[in-house]
Structure 1
Amino acid sequence: MTDVLILGGTGWLSGRIARSWADAGADVTCLARGSRPAPEGAALVVADRDAPEAYAALTDRDWDEVVDVSSNPVHVAAAVDALGTRAAHWTYVSSVSAYARADVEGQDESAELLAPAAAGEEPDYGRDKVAAEKAVRDALADRAAVIRPGLIVGPGDPTDRFGYWVSRFALAGDGPVLVPETGALAGDDPVLVPYTADARAQVIDVDDVAAFVVHIGRERWSGTANAVGDVHALADVLDLARQIAGHSGAAVAASDQFLVDHDVAHWAGPRSLPLWLPGDMPGFMTHRNAIFRAAGGTLRPLRETLERTLADERARGLDRERRAGLVRSDELALLAELARPTGLAGPDRPDRAQR
């Protein structure tokens, strides 16, 4: 039987990885603080990775595979130091946030990285991931795989970003939904215009990431791979989300300037439009995935991921409090503000707001 150690294993992604390994017949052990249970079929070792003896209970056995998802480079380096000689293969889950440039489209794994974080510096997610990658490579070399996921989505997503759209379209029903313009204005109308195909979206289902981690662990594949989905026009993703949600109302596009002026945030967090990016980041969701595919990575259809996400959103509550997006009352207030200055929302011109 394959002995697998997940450093973590009780969070969203690490829990999916642990479950996937268990489903594959492995003997899975998770090391975590113990605030949440390990997935069914996995054993839990309770430990604090800040503690000097965090890995003491794990060093008396060999591991066919170790998986670490931490963004704390001190934790990663300490784990490698304690367990590296006991591991036949090590997979470190990094992030495309490790790349130095967000303004360059189509980057592959050879693209420039951020400078690694130095000891004692304030936490910086991207630089911390780079430092953690370096610790793994320096110690394990040809026994290590580093994967760099992009935006991970799907059931259980704690960030509420991707799920916002299919959830909001379902909640709105035949009512209007505010969307980012995502590109140059169409025609002369400054507000109610269809959203364009200029902006991109690149997502990967959480279970596709987990399946890839299991696959490369089994194969003991070494190297670096962007674990990212194919690139889509954001407009196409929103259109598909509307279709799956059964939304029959208007999709009302607001310009970047309007959204910024009304304190709507990019990407994530409260009072945001998720997946909407600043104009100086055209490369952020356009990374190449050729190595991922060549190494055995697979991607389920975007429609399936959206359907899975909508089912999860319905189960959790379409009108629940969210970590990302606009609350419906704020969205309706913004839509009313959009209609007031121009008068473009009258019954004689509804088609300009439809998509």
Structure 2
Amino acid sequence: MTDVLILGGTGWLGGEAARRWMDAGARVTCLARGGRPAPYGAALVTADRDHPEAYAHVADREWEEVLDVSSTPRHVETAIAALAGRTRHWTYVSSVSVYASSDVAGQDEGAELADPAAPGEPYDYARAKAACEAAVRHALGGRTAVVRPGLVVGPGDPSDRFGYWPARFALAGGEPVLAPEAEDRTAQVIDVRDLADQIVALGRERWVGTMNAVGDPVPLARLLQLARETAGHTGDLIVADDAWLEQHEVQHWAGPRSLPLWLPRDMPGFATRTNAVYRLLGGVLRDLRVTLADTLADERARGLDRDRAGGLTRAEEEVLLAEHRSEHGAEQRADSGTGESG
């Protein structure tokens, strides 16, 4: 039987990968801090990766596969020191954020990376991921798959980014929803279930190399329209331009008081990375409508008006809509499904 060690495995992507490995007949062990259960059928080893003996209970076994998703270089380095000699293949989940710039569309895995973080420096996600990749390659270069996902979406997403849109359209119903200018903007997402399937496939084949795990680029306007259709939204889509949103302290991309998936215009390459290697290796991308429908069902189960990790609260949005209406008045048309910019 295939023995798989997942460093984590009790969170979102790690849990999906654990379940898929077990579906493939593997024996899965998750090493995590605890507080959350391992997926049903997986063994849980409780350990803090900051502790020097974190791997004591797993370093005396042979592993067919080790999967790590950490963005903390010292965690990756200590895991390698303890386990590199005990595994036949290692999969490290990095991020497309590891690239040095996002100003050129359509770049592949050979694009320049951010400088790896040095010990003791303030935390920077891109540089931390670059340092993790460098550590894995140096120690296990001939036994390593490096996977660089883009925006991971789907049911259970703890970041609340992608799910904001179908949830907000459903919550608004026949009332207006505020949106950013989508012209010339792109989104690029991958369903967590498709990503987990591909991670397991790479591990089973012991594939070695680097792969962007991203969906096909889609115009942001198209994604928002599909989200509206999925939610059955019949209200107006009120489009505010970048300057207006920034003046009203609406944030890009993620986090509180943001419009998720809205990117600054100086990042035209971020959501356009090539997925040719992913496709060549048999990676599947389910229909975006399916992901939206499943995400909305999950959002309804969790509560459309719950506190969110990302996006505007409905109360914040209503204040902004009133301000936009007051400032633009007659310029703002009330045609359902069109939206006006201002």
Task: With the length of structure 2 as denominator, give the TM-score of the two structures.
Answer: 0.97
Task: Please give the residue correspondences for 1:7-156 in structure 2 after superposition, counting only pairs within 5 Å.
Answer: 7-156=7-156
- Deviating more after overlay: 337-346 vs 241-250: 337-346
Question: SS in structure 1 opposite 2:123?
Answer: coil
In 1: Cα distance, 2:196 partner to 2:88 partner: 19
1:134-156 Cα deviation digits (max 9, x unpaired): 11111111110000000000111
Residue 202 (structure 1) aligned to one of 182, 188, 196: 188
Q: Give the length in aligned residue pairs.
A: 339
Distance 2:6 2:282 in 1: 21
3-state DSSP of counterpart to 1:342: helix
What CA distance in whole angstroms lies between the structure 2 residues aligned with 1:83 and 1:145? Answer: 16
Query: Equivalences for 1:142-221 in 2 at 5 Å?
Result: 142-182=142-182, 196=183, 198-221=184-207
Deviation of the 1:345 alpha carbon: 6.0
1:296 aligned onto 2:282: yes
Aligned to 2:301: 315
Distance 2:276 2:305 in 1: 39
Q: Distance in 2 between matches of 1:112 and 1:230?
A: 21
**SS of corresponding position for 2:163:** helix
Superposition deviation, residue 296 in structure 1: 2.1
Taking the TM superposition and a 5 Å limit, the aligned residue runs for 1:202-241 are 202-241=188-227
Alpha-carbon contact 1:252-1:353 (below 8 Å) kept? no
Change (3 A) 1:36 1:352: closer
The AA in structure 2 aligned to 1:253 is V
Structure 2 distance, partners of 1:130, 1:247, is: 41
The runs of 5 or more residues in structure 2 that have no matched partner are none
The answer on whether the counterparts of 1:253 and 1:353 sit within 8 Å (CA) in structure 2 is no
SS of 2:335's equivalent?
A: helix
Is 1:99–1:112's contact at 8 Å kept on the other side of the alignment? yes
Check conservation: 2:166, 2:231, Cα contact below 8 A. Answer: yes
Q: 2:31 touches 2:46 (CA, 8 Å); kept in 1?
A: yes
SS for the counterpart of 2:118 is coil
For 2:71 and 2:40, locate their aligned partners in 1 and report how far apart those are by CA, in whole Å.
25
For residue 261 of structure 2, what is the aligned residue in structure 1? 275
2:334 is aligned to 350
Partner of 2:229: 243
3-state DSSP class of the match of 2:207?
coil
In structure 1, runs of 5+ residues without a counterpart are 183-195
Partners of 1:331 and 1:48 in 2: CA distance: 40
Q: Contact 1:89/1:144 (CA < 8 Å) preserved in 2?
A: yes
CA distance in 1, matches of 2:142, 2:324: 56
User: Does residue 334 in structure 1 map to residue 320 in structure 2?
Assistant: yes
How big is the alpha-carbon RMSD for the aligned residues of Structure 1 and Structure 2?
1.2
Aligned partners of 1:17, 1:70: CA distance in 2, in Å? 14
SS at 1:350's partner residue?
A: coil
Q: Which amino acid aligns with 1:300?
A: R
Deviations 1:277-309 (A, max 9, x none): 111111111100001111221111111100110
The residue matched to 1:162 in structure 2 has which SS? coil
1:23-52 CA distance string (max 9 Å, x none): 211100000111211011100001111111
Q: Which amino acid aligns with 1:59?
A: A
For 2:59 and 2:334, the matched residues in 1 are separated by: 67
Q: Secondary structure at the match of 1:31?
A: strand
Q: Distance in 2 between matches of 1:263 and 1:330?
A: 11
Determine if the alignment matches structure 1 residue 262 to structure 2 residue 262.
no
Identity %: 65
Which range is displaced more, 46-55 or 63-72?
A: 46-55
Runs of 4+ more than 6 Å apart: none
Counterparts of 1:264 and 1:240 in 2: how far apart (Å)?
23
Report the Cα offset of residue 343 of structure 1: 1.8
